[in-house]
Structure 1
């Protein structure tokens, strides 16, 4: 819904646009035109019905980034980077000998891996809707990873390709 202030700004922009086309109109005419565009009989009706201020912006959420627990940096890199094909976005340690917090991504999917005790529980599952699941399966099988040869399972909701990391976490890739 528009506010009175937004409607006035629309009228101001309308006047400016018409002036560039040598079609100058009084401010009152621009207000009447905006009121009609917003579905009101005239500006007096619109100004009586429109709220004084804009409503607060709607709450919106960006996509979540799952955090998975890891215990061994070398095994995590072998699984997530070498086998699954993720790339490192960032690495963070408070000091050189403290736990690693690692951000990784692949084709729009972001994951965070953490050695910090309180960040996540081992044995978590992440469900990942996707497209071209057969291509992912073929890519993973071609790597001949020593700890898993995932295959697609047909479920009632779609095709599922599940991989298990060295820390007991599961990623379920699913194509509807």
Structure 2
């Protein structure tokens, strides 16, 4: 299993985006000592994601793709939330997927996608 790491700069903004808005679950958090950076593990369905305030772990502006079933239902649930900083739409990609891209407060990009099977 591969676990991507995204760089974050604000724990509260990360929590609002990933947990409250996107519906990720906070599995655990770690901080070596007070006034030290945080490191988190989040999960969403069958995948995990790490968020790090540590400057050497990764660079902001990364991107991942998450294959999920029920993308239209997931989009509908996001649309009902009152998150002021995002209002993503589903797009149909020429390679046979529908996709929903969100950008977190730290310029990291997540594209949720689902393969579509069109009838001939």
TM-score bucket (shorter structure): over 0.9
Residues 3-152 of structure 1: pairs in structure 2 closer than 5 A: 63-152=1-90
Q: Which has the higher helix share?
A: 1
Q: Which runs of 5+ in 2 are unaligned?
A: 116-120
| SS in structure 1 at match of 2:112 | strand
CA separation in 1, counterparts of 2:70 and 2:23? Answer: 15
Q: CA deviation at 1:108?
A: 1.2
Tell me the matched-pair count.
114
- 1:154 corresponds to 2:89: no
CA deviations 1:41-98 (Å, max 9, x no partner) are xxxxxxxxxxxxxxxxxxxxxx211100000001000000100111111100111210
CA deviations 1:125-154 (Å, max 9, x no partner) are 011111110011001010021001111010
- 1:168 corresponds to 2:112: no
- TM-score normalised by L of structure 2: 0.92
Larger Rg: 1
Moved segments of 4+, more than 4 Å:
none
CA separation in 2, counterparts of 1:120 and 1:153? Answer: 29
CA separation in 2, counterparts of 1:141 and 1:165? Answer: 16
CA separation in 2, counterparts of 1:105 and 1:78? Answer: 15
Q: Which has the higher strand share?
A: 2
CA separation in 2, counterparts of 1:162 and 1:137? Answer: 10
| SS in structure 1 at match of 2:19 | helix
